[in-house]
């Protein structure tokens, strides 16, 4: 494959923000790999996108982010097909209203939203050209502001709020992006790690909420605070494509409560910026995936 081809991966690209992010990348000349768990839904989404962008190069590859072996298989298949990777959008995410663990016994949201992307990034980083145009974009959420990493209760078994595991996982995504940037900087690499959040949008996550809460949010909260999925993708695309982006930046909507509005620098908690927490989370994540994530010098 021509090294001049711009290659991007978007996890969870078959719907919601990932779907719109994929279209935005295609508009900017990227060849995009849709990394999705459900092959049927992904192929359907691909066909729909190609009706709008018929000359675009759009691939579908299967990967279940809650399954570490599936991630390793995906990474090997990607390396066989592509010589390099310019953009990695760690987008896919789940929100559950009941406790659930993956096959390895790890809390499902932490496994999928954070650990899966941690492992995927570790396996693909070597393919990324050492350039400021190479970017890893990790998706967080405004939910991170009410969270902490429960290192002594990582599966949130002692927590009483139903959304605590989701908030913890999205905080982990933000912390991971920052810690990765620190390691990239220390190693002398020019690759950029940034984070972003979409604000408020009904991209399917409401379907996993308790039914009564879903109805309340959709008919009272949603009209006031949610924006379209197209607008929700703008902070992610800004983090991915803007030439002024600096490693460690965090983007999101800049309107009321960061739920909607033009994309710009987002607010984060002091806890999320603690390097000791970032270092501890990194080591814990390595333990979970069963391998070291080393960021080597160029």
CB 91 within 8 A of CB 11: yes
CB 166 within 8 A of CB 95: yes
pLDDT band at 1 (very low <50, low <70, confident <90, very high): very low
pLDDT, residue 260, reads 75
CA distance 72 to 92: 17
| DSSP codes, 8-25 | EEEETTTSHHHHHHHHHH
Averaged pLDDT for residues 65-80 = 98
- Which tens digit of pLDDT belongs to each residue from 234-253? 999 999 999 999 999 999 98
pLDDT, residue 221, reads 55
Task: Please give the CATH number for the structural domain made up of 7-289.
Answer: 3.40.50.720
Cα 96 to its chain centre, rounded Å, is: 17
Active site residues: 166
Q: At what angle do helices 116-124 and 275-289 cross, to 10 degrees?
A: 80
In a 3-state reduction of DSSP, which class is residue 185? helix
CA distance 263 to 246: 15
- Which tens digit of pLDDT belongs to each residue from 74-109? 999 999 999 999 999 999 999 998 999 999 999 999
Averaged pLDDT for residues 109-121 = 98
- Which tens digit of pLDDT belongs to each residue from 148-207? 999 999 999 999 999 999 999 999 999 999 999 999 999 999 999 999 999 767 555 555
Q: Whole-model pTM above 0.85?
A: yes
Residue 31 reports pLDDT greater than 80:
yes
pLDDT, residue 229, reads 83
């Amino acid at each position: 494959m021509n090294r001049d081809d711009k290659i991007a991966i978007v996890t969870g690209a078959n719907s919601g923000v990932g779907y719109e992010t994929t279209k935005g990348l295609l508009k900017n000349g990227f060849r995009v790999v849709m990394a999705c768990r459900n092959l049927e839904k992904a192929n359907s989404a691909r066909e729909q996108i190609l009706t709008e962008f018929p000359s675009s190069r759009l691939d579908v590859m299967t990967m279940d982010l809650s399954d570490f072996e599936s991630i390793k298989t995906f990474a090997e298949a990607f390396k066989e097909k592509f010589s390099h990777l310019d953009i990695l959008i760690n987008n896919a995410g789940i929100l559950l209203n009941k406790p659930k663990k993956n096959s390895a016994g790890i809390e499902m949201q932490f496994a999928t939203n954070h650990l899966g992307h941690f492992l995927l990034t570790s396996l693909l980083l070597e393919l990324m050209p050492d350039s400021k145009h190479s970017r890893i974009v990790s998706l967080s959420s405004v939910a991170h502001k009410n969270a902490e990493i429960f290192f002594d209760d990582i599966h949130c078994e002692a927590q009483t709020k139903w959304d605590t595991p989701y908030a913890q996982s999205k905080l982990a995504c933000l912390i991971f992006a920052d810690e990765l940037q620190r390691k990239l900087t220390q190693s002398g690499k020019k690759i950029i790690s940034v984070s972003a959040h979409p604000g408020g949008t009904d991209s399917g996550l409401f379907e996993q909420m308790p039914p009564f809460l879903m109805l309340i949010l959709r008919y009272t909260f949603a009209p006031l605070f949610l924006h379209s999925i197209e607008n929700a993708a703008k902070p992610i695309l800004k983090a991915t494509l803007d030439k002024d982006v600096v490693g460690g930046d965090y983007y999101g909507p800049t309107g009321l409560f960061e739920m909607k509005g033009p994309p710009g620098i987002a607010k984060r908690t002091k806890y999320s910026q603690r390097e000791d927490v970032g270092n501890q989370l990194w080591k814990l994540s390595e333990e979970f995936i069963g391998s070291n994530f080393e960021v080597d010098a160029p």
